[in-house]
Amino acid sequence: MKISTETLVRSALAILLLLCLFNMPYGYYQLLRFVAVVGFAILAYYEFERKNVPKTFVFVGLAFLFQPLLKVSLGREVWQIVDVLTAAGLLVTVFLQNKKSG
């Protein structure tokens, strides 16, 4: 079974976001912001190449939300909700894509 780069990025981002539910050191969240912005930018590029404008805008929006330069201060509880919803969305797209191709 060959795993595409896109599936790997989606899965890795989902796992990293779900780890935010645990009490992690602050450095983890800083690292996550850098990884997330790169990951969401890659996913936006894939969707742009497919000419899927709505998904491109979603991933660009997520990249801006998670970017580390101008931090969005939502509070821990709200960030946990955002993390879980984003991770769930990423995992759903992984399973739907695998179902479609398999």
Annotate 29-69 with DSSP letters as a single string. Answer: HHHHHHHHHHHHHHHHHHHHHTT-HHHHHHHHHHHHHH-SS
Tokens of 68: 């580390």
Q: What is the pLDDT of residues 20-36, one digit of tens each?
A: 999 889 999 999 999 99
Mean pLDDT of the chain, nearest integer: 90
Q: What is the pLDDT of residues 59-89, one digit of tens each?
A: 999 999 999 888 878 888 999 999 999 999 9
- In Å, what is the CA distance from 14 to each residue of 39, 67, 70? 11, 16, 22
